[in-house]
Amino acid sequence: MTNSLDVAAIKKDFRVLDQVQNGRRLVFLDSAASSQRPVQVIDAMSDFYNSTYANVHRGVYRLAEESTNRYEHARRNVARFIGASNHNEIVFTKNATEAINLVAHSWGRTNLTAGDVVVVSMLDHHANIVPWQMLAAERAVEIRWIPVTDDGQLDLSDVDRLLDGAKVLAVTAMSNVTGAITQMDSLIASAKAAGAITVLDACQYVPHLPIDVDALGADFVAFSGHKMLGPSGIGVLWGRMELLESMPPFLGGGGMILNVTVDGFTPDAPPARFEAGTPPITEAVGLSAAIDYLDELGMEAVRAHEVSLTAYAMRKLTSELGDSLRILGPSEPAQRGGVLSIELEGVHAHDVSQVLDEHAVCIRPGHHCAKPLMRHFGVAATARASFYVYNDESDADALAEALVAARDFFAL
């Protein structure tokens, strides 16, 4: 098979993958939880600390101005990468969870009252469910649920009824469990027709596929740096400027105000309004370096590689394990991301993970912060393997070999 990415060359940029565990090379298949970082990102952050770091938007000395310029360059780089024409629509947060909570608490508390409707989906991560449930408990807001099909995709057959009278649609762009890619164009159009804003959890989408938020039509899009080769501690909220300008601050403190008196305060314009306190400065530099790395690879090539590798892995696992294996989600690789949530017959997901660890294969067992979806499938947990740019067919082979070993071990 001809890959669209030179994975052998890419692997050399990730020093963590040089490790040997139990006499085997390390195979990292947990990027859906948090990706690894290339040396280019690590060096960019280290160099920034060594040469440029100072607090931003405060000092007027040269070092502070250089630091501010690097921070704001990162904002512009993020905007360009996701197709946002206005870089001031980019708000840096701690992670995507904080970004969605920002929307729920700032926009939600301003606009939602008792009886209003928020539509979420059974496919979503808790981060795009619980903030709305908290608001529902506080404001008596109604929560409606989009169900899922047997193959782990959104069931949109009744979506117009579910959206009737809704104020918010909160939905994932790609499932972190089934890998299913949401039909965003039609769903966002349906939400607009119903008069609802759309809050998109794009944590699994942005690292793996090209995205153009201006063209997409959503109102808010959230994602995290640590899932796209960047550091932890930084997330992104993109929001339409007219909505951001209408929202009150989420946190109060330094950096987010125009004026404070004994009688009150006047908030700054977005994005500063939502970036109270010292922001994740070095993390923004690291995220910008990760974007540069992905740009060099090309997001079309990233997507093509993952579709090809996912197809290979699904064929390999099915061939090696047959009916003892169940892979949740769509059977067509083009309809999903590189996430394989696995049930191995008669073996608990945590036991599978422990055996795979002995084979130096890193996967994640658990409910993946998607308990409503786990209950839908009738399972407590799955063993999840997830691929990224530094994985290739040899990693899928190692996964299959380790799963066969796990099956055979527990069959004794």
Active-site amino acid positions: 369
Question: Which amino acid, one-letter code, is at 391?
Answer: N
User: Can you read off the two tokens belonging to residue 334?
Assistant: 């083009």
How far is residue 190's CA from residue 188's CA, in Å, rounded to a whole number? Answer: 5
Closest by CA position to 271, among listed 279, 263, 261: 279
Question: Which residue from 98, 50, 31, 41 is spatially nearest to 234, judged by alpha carbons?
Answer: 98
User: Sheet containing 197-201: which strands, arranged edge to edge?
Assistant: 90-93, 235-239, 220-224, 197-201, 166-172, 117-121, 142-146
Are 197 and 402 within 8 A, CB to CB?
no
Pair of tokens at residue 279: 């922001």
Coarse DSSP helix, strand, coil percentages of the chain, rounded to the nearest 5 percent:
45, 20, 35
DSSP type of residue 255: T
Q: Nearest to residue 383, comparing CAs of 359, 395, 366, 360?
A: 366
CA distances for 303 relative to 206, 208, 210, angstroms: 11, 6, 8
From 284, 292, 235, 230, select the one nearest 48 (Cα to Cα).
284
